[in-house]
Each structure stands twice: as structure tokens, then as C-alpha cells.
């Protein structure tokens, strides 16, 4: 059975992931390995559905808590749309809006091909 693949919305998102503190980067690597195996079946505490096809990957380490938003495309493709370091209990609306806008763009582009 084909595993899921991970892509990035753009190089800045990928650069942001690469610049994470080592503990968060290690947790990201662990969770993306699970994500590639289980895809949308990965659930809490690792991933959470945010509605309308948007998901949140929940990374944490002693350096802090991070969130990455992603969506899926046909062909078992996962696109990492946006990430941020969590500083408050609730997800800031601005961060969620960025992810939703990017998801809409990615899904629209995917339908063209």
C-alpha cells in the first residue's frame, strides 16, 4: 500500500520547519513519520481535524509548543500549509486564516490539473 507523501506550501514554510528548535524539529520528524503512515487517520493527541479538510499537527518539546496546518490532496499527498509557535491557549484567528486561505489556493490549483 502506498504511503502518504509530504509537500510544503512554499520554501518559506519548509525553511520555518528547518529553523525550529531541535526538540520541536525532532517531534515534527516523529509525527510526520506517523502522518506518512496513517494520513488522515492520525488523530489526537498528534493531529486534530479543524474542519473543511484542514488539519493541525501538534508538536511539542521542552522548547515549547508548535502547530502546523496541513491538508490532503488526491494521490495521498499532504501539504504543510503554515506553522506557528503557540503562545496562547487558543489558536490565533490570524494563523488559522492564513492556513485556510492557503488550503483554498492549493486545492483550487490541484483541481486545474
Structural domains of the chain ordered from first start: 5-112 (3.30.2310.20)
User: Taking a C-beta distance cutoff of 8 angstroms, is the pair 31, 65 a contact?
Assistant: no
* CA atoms 64, 12, 33, 29: torsion sign: negative
Residue 112's pLDDT is 67
Which tens digit of pLDDT belongs to each residue from 43-98? 999 999 999 999 999 999 999 999 999 999 999 999 999 999 999 889 999 999 99
User: Taking a C-beta distance cutoff of 8 angstroms, is the pair 17, 83 a contact?
Assistant: yes
Look up cell 485556510; give the residue: 100
Given a cut of 70, whether residue 113 has pLDDT beyond it is no
Contacts of 53 (CB under 8 A, 6+ apart): 71, 72, 103, 107
Mean pLDDT of the chain: 94
Residue 1's pLDDT is 67
Residue 3's pLDDT is 92
Distances (CA, A) of 102 to 9, 68, 82: 8, 13, 8
Q: At CA 94, angle to CA 88 and CA 95, rounded to 5?
A: 70
Which tens digit of pLDDT belongs to each residue from 18-27? 999 999 999 9
User: Taking a C-beta distance cutoff of 8 angstroms, is the pair 34, 55 a contact?
Assistant: no
pTM of the model: 0.93
Amino acid at each position: 500500500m502506498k504511503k502518504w507523501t509530504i509537500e510544503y506550501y512554499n520554501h518559506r514554510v519548509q525553511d520555518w520547519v528547518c529553523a525550529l528548535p531541535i526538540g520541536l524539529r525532532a517531534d515534527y520528524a516523529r509525527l510526520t513519520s506517523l502522518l506518512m503512515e496513517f494520513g488522515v487517520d492520525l488523530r489526537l493527541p498528534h493531529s486534530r481535524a479543524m474542519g473543511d479538510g484542514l488539519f493541525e499537527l501538534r508538536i511539542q518539546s521542552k522548547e515549547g509548543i508548535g502547530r502546523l496546518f496541513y491538508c490532503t490532496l488526491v494521490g495521498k499527498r499532504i501539504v504543510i500549509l503554515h506553522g506557528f509557535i503557540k503562545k496562547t491557549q487558543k489558536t490565533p484567528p490570524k494563523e488559522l486564516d492564513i492556513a485556510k486561505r492557503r488550503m483554498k489556493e492549493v486545492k483550487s490549483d490541484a483541481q486545474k490539473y
